[in-house]
Structure 1
Amino acid sequence: MKLNLTDIQIDRIIEMAWEDRTPFEAITYQFALAEKEVIGLMRKELKRSSFNLWRARVNSGVSQKHLFKRNSEIDRFKCTRQRTISGNKISKR
């Protein structure tokens, strides 16, 4: 798995992966990484204990990383104010 990602992109992917309400589909949409690639990236970038903690959290009932675990009323994976691919910044008002 050879990914051509900048340090900033890797940091953002890790941040999104740690967020409970950001599904893997959002990471795939923004960075074209499948769930297995995100797991591999997390395994490579995190300490073993941090990776194990993250995996346990993703597979727990708390996390909504998988769409089938999400509330059916939520039909989007990004904030309504967030532009498609903008570094996840809210536009200036």
Structure 2
Amino acid sequence: MAAELSPAQLSEIVEMALSDHISFTQISAQHGVTPDQIKAIMRTQLKPGSYRAWRKRVRDFGDRREHYK
């Protein structure tokens, strides 16, 4: 999974995942990673507090919108 990804690809995945306009499906299609792998990448690339805030935002938006991440 992350072992095959270059630092540039990891950076792009993080940037895409942080965006509110790009879904996990779009990231998966472009980079061939699953939503669980995206979450694992985010956990390793972000500080713990930043990761928790991101997960909360994704979860909250997902509860309000039918199609979000």
TM-score class, shorter: 0.7 to 0.9
Q: Distance in 2 between matches of 1:23 and 1:63?
A: 14
Higher helix share: 2
The 5-angstrom pairing of residues 9-88 of structure 1 reads 9-61=9-61, 68-69=66-67
Please list every run of 5 or more consecutive structure 2 residues that lacks an aligned counterpart in the other structure: none
8 A contact 1:16–1:22 mirrored in 2: yes
Q: What is the CA-CA distance between 1:38 and the residue it aligns to?
A: 0.2
* Distance change in 2, residues 1:63/1:20 (3 Å): farther
* TM-score normalised over the length of structure 1: 0.64
Please list every run of 5 or more consecutive structure 1 residues that lacks an aligned counterpart in the other structure: 71-93
Structure 1 moving runs of 4+ over 2 Å: 61-64
The percentage of aligned residue pairs carrying the same residue is 30
* Distance change in 2, residues 1:47/1:34 (3 Å): same
* TM-score normalised over the length of structure 2: 0.85
Q: CA RMSD in A?
A: 2.3
What is the aligned residue count?
A: 68
